[in-house]
Copies of this chain bind each other. A is one copy, B any other.
């Protein structure tokens, strides 16, 4: 399962009884891939007007049928015999992901990792703006990091209100993560990207996704371990230097 959301957390788009584009439920797995499709479309923009599911799927590293199925949840935007109009599809995916406004995001915890998040160049082009940095450490408060002043966590309510923040990235030490998370929820933040290695408890209307850096390495370590053992035991051999998926 994808990290973060509780299993079976289906994105229920109930049938809109009247009005435009009756939206169907979009599976979690599909939502997670939309962002990859959007990136691939961005890479194509300018070079061609349309793209086939086959070509786009190759760029995104997925099966073409799966791509078509995913896109079919958004509506019917392809042209049989031709493909998908890149501009139209980009717009539709952006709209579905709610990226049309340019969302304000707060970074909470401005240590080693939080500072990197504050300066990460990849957010702006993909629909987000780092609108505030917050920390509890008075030695950090007032410092300017990547052009933004660090605010004290006690100002959280005011900052969230003024900057219209609904998404926060939580990069505090693990020991205080749940407490800070509670504060975020209390002031109305409803989506949290959690970098602290703890399982957060939140009310059901709040979405949490996690980025567990050491956890990711541990998963890779498992596969390293298995590969090393396979070499020794002559286990399931992988063709040495198989050509692999050229996306």
Contacts and interface: CB of A to CB of B under 8 A. Distances in A.
Interface string A218-247: 111111111110000101101111111111
A126 B113 CA distance: 17
Contacts of A1: 1-2, 29, 32
Among A122, A216, A220, A228, max chain B CB count under 10 A is at A220
A116 B122 contact: no
The range of chain A's interface size is 35 or more
B123 A116 contact: no
Contacts of A123: 213-214, 217
A205 B4 CA distance: 28
Given A29-B1, A241-B203, A244-B204, A213 B122 contact: yes
Interface of A: 1-4, 6, 11-14, 16, 26, 29, 31-32, 34-36, 38-40, 59-61, 96-99, 103, 105, 112-113, 115-117, 119-123, 125-128, 166-167, 169, 174, 190-193, 197-207, 209, 211-228, 233, 235-236, 238-247
Given A35-B219, A123-B214, A205-B238, 4 more contacts: A1-B32, A3-B3, A60-B199, A203-B241
Closest 9 CB pairs of A and B: A98-B225, A116-B116, A191-B220, A126-B214, A35-B215, A203-B244, A204-B242, A61-B199, A205-B238
